[in-house]
Amino acid sequence: MKKVKNLIIGAGVSGLTFANYCGDNYLICEKENEVGGYCRTIQRSGYVWDYAGHFFHFKTEEFKNKFLSKMKKKDIIYNEKCTKILYKNRLIDFPFQTNIHQLDKEEFIDCLYDLFTKTEKKEYSNFLEMLYGKFGKSIVEKFLKPYNEKLYAVDLSKLDVNAMGRFFPYADKEAIIKNMKNKSVNSYNNTFFYPKKGAGSFIKILYDNLDKNKILLNTSINSIDLKNKTAILSDGNIIVYENLINTIPLNKFLELLGGYKKLINEMSYNKVLVFNLGFDKPSPLCKKEHWLYIPDKKDNYYRVGFYNNILKEEKLSMYIEIGFSKNDIINKRIIDKQFKLTLSNLEKDGIINKKTKLVDYMSIVMDPAYVHINTITLKKIEKLKEEFKLNNIYTIGRYGAWTYNSMEDSMISAKELAENLL
Ligand SMILES: Cc1cc2nc3c(=O)[nH]c(=O)nc-3n(C[C@H](O)[C@H](O)[C@H](O)COP(=O)(O)OP(=O)(O)OC[C@H]3O[C@@H](n4cnc5c(N)ncnc54)[C@H](O)[C@@H]3O)c2cc1C
């Protein structure tokens, strides 16, 4: 039996950040054979692929410097975001609601008319109702509803009004009209950094600061005894901990603890199937775009990204994101079917053509991917977290805390917790 002050479950960005700030007395258990969690990079056949595009839009100087000071300038690309919506065979600027003037005249008039005649409420009871109230029928039904239904794979009236927090590009009538003449920049992620060797390079910096003897790879936590503060690892070892820091998805952590079936069933989220695709030549359509939003339900993907445009390289290198609901099974048969659909849709959409040859590809399933924010469930989770604290259990990170945030947000809260526990 080994004793440790901080036992950390998971070596993603949250677990690694916690370990960077908690002093020397820690042990990380990671079930995979490498660190990084969802923020990992794979280099294959000359392509650099993340587990779906992972970009850092730093809001704090501290974390920006933590990474940038350890890398050579030439190894980092700083981009002003170039994102579009593929709408009826045309590329229009994102977000849809502030760029309706780029639509055909009739559709533009519909959007404008509905924007001015919509019935606003003081308070909305759910996300979909809020969209109709703030933007009117046409903007909602042409983009906001189909796109978000594809992404979240859920009935949008089941989501909280604030389901996307600061990640939702709100705009009032005035801003929409002003944007027709003067393009405004009001997005949370208008610029981003990207290391030439992929987002995983930032993770390596967090990892390099740590004592490798205190990171057990290929090791999961099999069970936890809250009363005796012990955890049994997959290699059979028993660890006695003072603090347990969980970063694995909360639903899976509750399964480990046992006895939370009702809450686990209630917790709603989507899964995302990602394809990384490497082709032999540039895209005939997308020469500079970093990623595209795709609201058309005839397309299986909701978002596609272009690593080669981000890295300023020639050969088309893409990530494709496809939303599934919590209960969908994503097995080999489904992956193969989605793969074929993806290639034929990319051709239909003009992103590739008959001459574009696929060189290499891979698929990844992100489960969970986006937590569905719902106030009733979140209240129960918050109460549970308070109870956990009484047992020195802290559940952090986007999935551990069961929230919608960025990697930097997770790093900030992991650091704060580590410093508090010191
Ligand atoms: C499609 C998509 C795109 C995204 N893009 C961005 C972006 O551009 N920018 C951004 O800031 N954020 C982005 N995110 C969010 C980002 O992925 C997460 O915020 C972040 O990676 C979460 O890190 P984490 O360490 O909290 O969790 P994870 O990365 O999930 O780490 C948890 C770790 O625990 C391990 N583990 C699981 N079970 C066990 C077990 N039983 N025992 C031991 N170890 C276990 C896992 O293997 C993993 O390494 C995106 C998310 C998705 C789904």
* Bridge partner residues of 238 (DSSP): 232
| Any atom of ligand 1 within 6 Å of the Cβ of 86 | no
Given this model, what pLDDT does residue 185 score?
A: 58
Burial class (CB in 10 A: 0-12, 13-18, 19+), 379: exposed
Share of the chain above pLDDT 90, in %: 90
Given this model, what pLDDT does residue 187 score?
A: 59
Residues 6+ apart with CB under 8 A from 208: none
Domains of the chain: 2-54+199-267+373-421 (3.50.50.60), 74-95+187-193+270-370 (3.90.660.20), 97-173 (1.10.3110)
| Any atom of ligand 1 within 6 Å of the Cβ of 63 | no
Give the C-alpha separation, 378 to 357, whole Å: 46
Mean pLDDT within 342-347: 98
Least confident of 173-187, 267-281, 382-396: 173-187
Residue scoring higher pLDDT (256 or 163): 256
Pairing of strands 83-87, 90-93: antiparallel
Match 């097995």 to its residue by tokens.
331
Given this model, what pLDDT does residue 267 score?
A: 96
What are the pLDDT digits (tens) for 163-196? 887 788 888 899 899 989 887 655 556 888 899 9
pLDDT above 80 (res 260): yes
Q: Which of 247, 318, 413 to mutate to test the pocket of ligand 1 (most atoms within 8 A of CB)?
A: 247
Mean pLDDT within 99-107: 97
Given this model, what pLDDT does residue 164 score?
A: 83
Least confident of 19-28, 47-56, 181-190, 237-246: 181-190
Given this model, what pLDDT does residue 192 score?
A: 86
User: Which residue has its alpha carbon closest to ligand 1 atom 50?
Assistant: 54
Helix (H) or strand (E) segment spanning residue 3 = strand 2-9
Q: Which two tokens stand for residue 289?
A: 């775009």
Given this model, what pLDDT does residue 189 score?
A: 67
Instruction: State the average pLDDT for the chain.
Output: 95
Given this model, what pLDDT does residue 104 score?
A: 97
How many angstroms separate the alpha carbon of residue 15 from the centre of ligand 1?
Answer: 10
Q: Which two tokens stand for residue 380?
A: 């129960």
| Any atom of ligand 1 within 6 Å of the Cβ of 273 | no
Give the C-alpha separation, 398 to 340, whole Å: 32
Q: What are the DSSP calls for 5-71, one per residue? A: EEEEE--BHHHHHHHHHS-S-EEEE-SSSSSBTTS-EEEETTEEEESS---B----HHHHHHHHTTS
| Any atom of ligand 1 within 6 Å of the Cβ of 368 | no
Given this model, what pLDDT does residue 163 score?
A: 84
pLDDT above 80 (res 312): yes
| Any atom of ligand 1 within 6 Å of the Cβ of 369 | yes
Given this model, what pLDDT does residue 79 score?
A: 86
Given this model, what pLDDT does residue 199 score?
A: 95
Mean pLDDT within 52-67: 90
Q: Which of 28, 407, 412, 415 to mutate to test the pocket of ligand 1 (most atoms within 8 A of CB)?
A: 407
Given this model, what pLDDT does residue 123 score?
A: 94
pLDDT above 70 (res 306): yes
Mean pLDDT within 231-245: 97
